Amino acid sequence: MAETTITKTSKHSWDAHHWIAGAIVLVATLQFHLIFVQGFNWDEFYFLSQVHAAENGTLQIALNTIHTRLFFWLPLLPDEIVQLRTARVFMLAAELSTGACIIGLARRFTDMQTAMLAGLAYISAGYVFLHGASFRVDPIVTALLMAALLGSATVRQSWRSGLAIALLIAVAGATTIKAVFFAPAFAGIWLMRWSESTDRQRTAIWMASTTVCAVLFFGVIYGLHSHNLAIADAEASRKMVSNAGEKMFSMGLFPRGQFLIKQGFIALIFSATLLAAPVAIGLQKRTRIEEVVLIAFWLPLLSLAIYRNSFPYFYAFIMAPATVAAAAALMPVVRRYGALPLALLLLGNGAWLYWNTPKDMQVVQARVLHSVHAIFPKPVAYIDFSSMISSFPKQGFFMSGWGMDNYRDAGQPVFAEILQSQTVPLVIANHDSLDAALRGSEAQKPLLDADAQILLDNYVHHWGPIWLAGREIDGPAGQRTINIAIPGIYTVEGSAITIAGIEYEPGDKVVLGRGPQVVERRTEKNVVLRFGRGAIKPSAVEPKLGRFGVFSDF
């Protein structure tokens, strides 16, 4: 690898190393602060809810949920906000570990300055800076796979190293099936390892045994994880994989092209380097094996052209191996202009992203969560978009784009069926479809008619996105029959009302069972029957309506 020996070490280069290291520390510090101020995305609450479900024995699927075992201790912390912040700290550690692995791998193909710049470019690069420390499986699996790639490239061949690499790959595969996108990178690095070996037969046996062990470890990990789940998982996982095959690649080319364009704008230098990498690699004086390996590291990026879920958080995952290839494109730039200008530009990119990131959404989210816990000190069933009240048992489905498509394709009312047998006193209207159904308005992707009607009829607005079980009785005075879908204790508000022959004044409590109730009003003044014993309304300003009133957008 003659290319890596051209740059000579000097006092100046050591100074550059320190500057780059300092820039990495500063970018990591900015990200660390964002942990405590940047709003949580809906996915983060969803992943936290899976941890709670595993802890209380209600997790129903093993595929893509191994993180619930790694973070089993999170429910011991005070509330959802503290739990998510703590989880983000570990995600940031995983992201920085990925950056370190990028430096280690890039060092095989470039000088140390360029390798360090590649690590800095990654952690300051647009969506990586903004979402690389989010509580999702992506930072975990990226760190595991990059560590396995680094080990495959550098460690001495032995049964211990083979088992360690196999375990990393197996845990990554059990964490998410997206791990398969790294296959070209592993093929490339193992080809290089084999070509450089003085005993190719021994190396081939080592790689084959590592692969077999990875498959065996995956089976053991998956089996142990799924053994004690709430219901048999095999069929659920089979359906999940089948749906993934149908949905994940069903939206044509560049299904999330808007995010790809935005990534280019918010990380200009890094994005340009990634695009230039294949050409730069071909123009450099490298061995054929080196060219193949670097292109293999770059190839996972092509998944952005076909993968439906290539949302911003996916970039932190898929750009990690490509950054190693990008280091090759950076090297001639570093030699011509020096490392310091690039380090300052990359640091400036991270600082600019930090400055422009909204820092008030966590306050809104905490206000909603604290209000819910004040109304319901003990967990109750609820309906929402993404399990925002992660410590409570959510009813219904994850209302992502994929989830809503499956729901509407099935054509089967979900919430109407749930309310026939379950007591669900709470709805968090943190999805536009839920908010529209509760208000009787139009939505871009509306709920099925039966679901929209039962929510409209059985919940009353409380505060912000919080809706409580209840009925608003208006119109002409007199007797009528109403249907109660959520049994429990209700508080009378507004005016007196007679229920089943008993008169109740405002503030009185009445126990209502599921089913028809005969009520009578003597005046036309509206009456509200609100679930609970006089739930207190927060005095704070209410968030705006819909999903982005309580969640941060990408």
Helix or strand holding residue 497 (H, E): strand 497-499
Q: So what's the pLDDT on residue 235?
A: 54
Q: Give yes or no for residue 455 having a pLDDT over 90.
A: yes
Is 215 among the domain residues? no
Higher pLDDT: 302 or 240? It is: 302
Residue 237, pLDDT above cutoff 90: no
What average pLDDT does this structure show over 64-69?
91
> Does residue 417 sit in the same domain as residue 489?
yes
Residues 537 and 390 in one domain: yes
Cα 513 → chain centroid: 39
Domain boundary residue, one of 336, 356, 376: 356
Q: Quick one: average pLDDT of 134-156?
A: 96
Q: Are residues 310 and 430 in the same domain?
A: no
The per-residue pLDDT for range 423-444, each reduced to its tens digit, is: 999 999 999 999 999 999 998 8
Domain boundary among 356, 390, 413: 356
pLDDT level of residue 243 (50, 70, 90 thresholds): low
Looking at the structure, tell me whether residues 341 and 381 fall in a common domain: no
Question: Please, which pLDDT band fits residue 232 given cuts at 50, 70 and 90?
Answer: very low
Amino acid type, 461: H
DSSP per position, 432-485: HHHHHHHHT---SSPPPHHHHHHHHHHEEEEETTEEEEEEEE-SSSEEEEEEES
Write out the two tokens for 479: 């007797």
Same domain, yes or no: 130 and 100: yes
DSSP assignment letter at 512: E
471: containing domain: 362-549
- The answer to whether residue 517 sits within a structural domain is yes
Asked, for residue 191, whether it belongs to a domain, the answer is no
One domain for residues 419 and 331: no
Confidence of residue 249 (pLDDT cuts 50, 70, 90): low
- Asked if residue 234 is part of any domain, the answer here is no
Q: In total, how many domains does the chain have? A: 2
pLDDT tens-digit readout, 169-227 = 999 999 999 999 999 999 999 999 999 999 999 999 999 999 999 999 999 999 888 87
Same domain, 345 and 374: no
CB atoms within 10 A of CB 51: 25
Burial group, residue 267, by CB count within 10 angstroms (0-12, 13-18, 19+) = buried
Query: Is residue 228 a part of any domain in this protein?
Result: no
Supply the pTM of this predicted model.
Answer: 0.91
Instruction: Provide mean pLDDT across the span 29-38.
Output: 98
The reply to whether 24 and 103 lie within a common domain is yes
- pLDDT above 50: residue 97: yes
> Where is the domain boundary, 356, 379, 398?
356
Residue 524: pLDDT band with limits 50, 70, 90: confident
Contact between 80 and 52 (Cβ < 8 Å)? no
Q: Are residues 426 and 487 in the same domain?
A: yes
Whether residues 412 and 326 share a domain: the answer is no
The percentage of the chain sitting over the pLDDT mark of 90, rounded to a whole number, equals 78
Within-domain flag for 247? no
Burial class (CB in 10 A: 0-12, 13-18, 19+), 406: middle
Q: Answer yes or no: is 147 within a domain.
A: no
In a domain, 148, yes or no: no
Residues 385 and 502 in one domain: yes
Are residues 451 and 512 both part of a single domain?
Answer: yes
Read off the pLDDT of each residue in 370-379 and give the average, rounded to a whole number: 94
